Amino acid sequence: IISQTLICYMTWAATLDYGRKTKNEDIRPGPLRPANIIRNKFPTYKNGSNGIVIKLADGPEVPPLKEVVAKETEELLDRRQRFSVRELAMKFEKGLNTATLLSKEVKWRQVALLERDILLKNLKSVLESLRGQVTGKTKDEIEESISMVEILAVQLSKREAELIQQKTEVTELAKSLKLASEDAKRIVEEERVNANTEVESARSAVQRVQEALQEHEKMSKRTGKQDMEELKKEVRVARRIKMLHCPSKAMDLENEIKTLRKTFTEKSVDCVNLLKELELHKRLKGNDIPVFDLEGLQCLGSMLHIVCQNGTPMDFSNISVQWFRIHPKESNKEIISGATRPAYAPEPNDVGRYMQAEINFGGETAIAKTAGLVDPDAGLVDYVETLVRKPETEFNVVVLQLNGIDQPKEAVHVLNVGRLRMRLSKGKTVVAKEFYSSSMQLCGVRGGGEAASQAMFWRPRSDLSFAVAFETARERNAAIMLARRFAIDCNIILAGPGDKTPW
């Protein structure tokens, strides 16, 4: 009877529902079940034959609560970096709920242990009272039962200490998880606030862009309407001009300038012819009939040709020619070195002087002289004064000769006339570049030819010389005058070969 009573007490204690639920209710969910833990930790007994209590073998051990919590915490920390802020907050909340459940389970298990302690004490007191009432074999069984109850009490006290330690650790873990969850919530809230701020700023930026686009569209429409009105107005004016056949003022001025130039050329030719007739009349009185004469305008930019007075063509291959410039006041004759052809193009140094050519044929010398002074090119001085204000000026030229050797006339070069130096280049390649010096020579080409009025001779140094052609005679004369003007500022006088200089 005593053995059966002891077994009933122990079985009831081992199978007690610590959650205080009825049998029909579902077992409370959670990672650990107190009944299973207690059943696996405490030995199970049964009543064998002859009243012997037999200890059953323990089932497979379940990991302790501390190891389970540590393992779950480690997994949570390992996967922390792979979650977003919101997911991390959800994981922390889940961990906090799990820790709370574990804490409640520890409390329930502690209550169960307290109830077992009371049951064991009651059982021990009952066995003590029965031991005094029985003798013999029954008394030995009661003493053995008392010793077993004492052993169970010792195991229960150890288990209670472990539970207290686990309770402390679970409480600390729950606190840390709670703090982490609060931090995660705070981070989520901050990110939400930042996201809302960025969204608002983006919306304001989009709104500003839309307003700017609308304003631009309005301005474009307004400008388009104004341009359309202006175009219509211009079209109406153009139609009116076309209907009235009225040329513009620019065209009137251009036509007037052309007419004036033509008239000036005709008057110049008439004046030259009158001067020639007057000179011829004087020579006829002195029995000095000229054989040759100079044909061409006596102005800068023109060409002077030696022709026979009677109009018959002459072969100048066996005739030597030399050109001179004569000062109108001093009447001294200055030889023009290299000018030995039947044609000569006056250069800026010849302006305001007479041009004279001496022709030697058959042992006799004939003279052909201009009837008047060489006139300057109209507007050239003002054009050069405008170029002087610039630090440098570029001219497109073609190299005719290099050191006296003819060159192909396909490539276009750039002649740069600066305040301190002159440079000739072809694309990015510099052909020649020299500062103004006393060894530099510059003048018009004196070898004759159809393009002599547009050609210039330039010798940068003693071992290098060029003959270049400009686009117009005006540009050629402007380049010569500009270079000489800059050279004078450097106390250098640029002249041609054999020309006399003041120093």
Q: pLDDT value at position 348? A: 92
pLDDT for 137 beyond 80 = no
- Asked which of 200-209, 249-258, 352-361, 376-385 is least confident by mean pLDDT, the reply is 249-258
Radius of gyration of the chain (CA): 63
State both tokens at 164. 């207290």
Rounded percentage of the chain residues whose pLDDT exceeds 90: 19
**Which pLDDT value is given to residue 489?**
92
Tokens of 70: 């540590």
The pLDDT, as a whole number, for residue 253 is 66
- pLDDT of 132 reads 67
What's 411's DSSP letter? S
Distance CA 443, CA 344 (A): 13
Q: How confident is the model at residue 107 (pLDDT cuts 50, 70, 90)?
A: low
Which two three-digit tokens encode residue 235? Answer: 């079209």
Kind and range of the H or E run holding 464: strand 464-470
Q: What is the largest CA-CA distance in the chain?
A: 195
- 292-369: what fold? Immunoglobulin-like (2.60.40)
Using alpha carbons, list the distances in angstroms from residue 334 to 338, 347, 440.
13, 14, 20
- Give residue 109's pLDDT: 62
What does the domain layout of the chain look like in residue ranges?
A: 83-216, 292-369, 380-490
What pLDDT does residue 6 have? 47
Q: What per-residue confidence (pLDDT) applies to 248?
A: 56
Phi, psi of 294 (to 5 degrees): -100, 130
- The Cα 343–Cα 331 span in angstroms is 23
Name all contacts of 428-431 with Cβ < 8 Å and 24+ positions apart: 431/399
Q: 268 versus 85: which is more confidently predicted?
A: 268
Compute the residue count for the chain. 503
Q: What is the pLDDT of residue 487?
A: 94
Q: So what's the pLDDT on residue 224?
A: 74
CA distances from 442 to 51, 125, 429, 460, 492 (A): 145, 141, 22, 8, 12
Question: Is the CATH number of domain 83-216 1.10.10?
Answer: no
Q: What is the mean pLDDT of residues 483-502?
A: 88
Q: 380-490 has which fold?
A: PH-domain like (2.30.29)
Q: What is the pLDDT of residues 396-422, one digit of tens each?
A: 999 999 998 888 877 899 999 999 999
pTM: 0.47
The more confidently predicted of residues 39 and 152 is 152
